[in-house]
Amino acid sequence: MRFASKRVEHDAEHAIKDMEVIMKILALTLGVVAVIVVASSAADARLSIDIESGMVGSLYNDVRIPGDTGTDFSLTDDLETDSAPFFRARVTYTLSDRHTFSALYAPLTLEAEGVAPGDIAYEGETFPEGSRLNGSYTFNSYRLTYRYEFTPRGKWSYGLGFTGKIRDAEIKVESDELSSSKTNVGFVPLLNFRVRYDVSDRLALSLEGDALAAPQGRAEDVLLAVHYGLTDSVELRGGYRLVEGGADNDEVYNFAYLSYASLGLTVTF
């Protein structure tokens, strides 16, 4: 009965967390709808849709959960994390060439496997040394951004704003006998920036991203890219994206560096 009660509590906790994710996604969706309504009423509004894909790998992914009593281990050094394809989608409205609103959907899951180098205490379970382990690292991101575009100076253009990010994360470790996972859903405020240099009418370079650091953790998502305009409304992009950061507290210690080889396509209407 005690184990059944714990299972019910566990399922209830996950149900509550799932509901929190749903409510936050709904709030983000309503925000996007509001932006679309406002933008659609403006004669000088531009809509663009951006699709990004490629391959992502993990340079490091260090974990200790709970943060105060768990065992330090690495999903990249102690286990092996495979590179995987990724996908992102962004919808952007720009008003009067000054005010940019965008919504980003960026799901991500990486799989890892290997042998426990020692006993690993992880989120209420202890995986014995020599256990064959499978791990998964999920870090889904939903973001709503506002950025102000400053007056261009020659071939340079730049903007600065802020991003509200909903983080839906899970780190799971399992063996043939045991399984344990840590989920985390939270809101993260970030600064948003963009710098672009137009080499010619068709060719450009850019640096853009979201980033913020605080005593309890940090987050950076930055893209360095080369752009080529196929037409006035269709642009190709290729570059390197890094996503780095994490948190250090009594509940969770996790810092990861994700490395992306990125290709993108932007269509403006």
Residue 31 reports pLDDT greater than 70: no
Q: Which domains does the chain have, with CATH numbers?
A: 2-268 (2.40.128)
pLDDT at 6 (0 to 100): 39
- In degrees to the nearest 10, what's the CA dihedral of 13, 18, 24, 27? -130
Residue 113 reports pLDDT greater than 50: yes
Q: Specify the pTM.
A: 0.84
- For the stretch 127-180, pLDDT in tens is 999 999 999 999 999 999 999 999 999 999 999 999 999 999 999 999 999 999
Give percent of the chain with pLDDT exceeding 70. Answer: 84
Pairwise CA distance, residues 64 & 216, whole Å? 15
pLDDT at 206 (0 to 100): 98
Q: What are phi and psi of 120, to 5 degrees?
A: -120, 110
- Residue range 117-121: mean pLDDT, rounded: 97
- For the stretch 220-254, pLDDT in tens is 999 999 999 999 999 999 999 999 999 999 999 99
In angstroms, what CA-CA distances link 131 with 84, 123, 128, 176? 25, 16, 6, 8
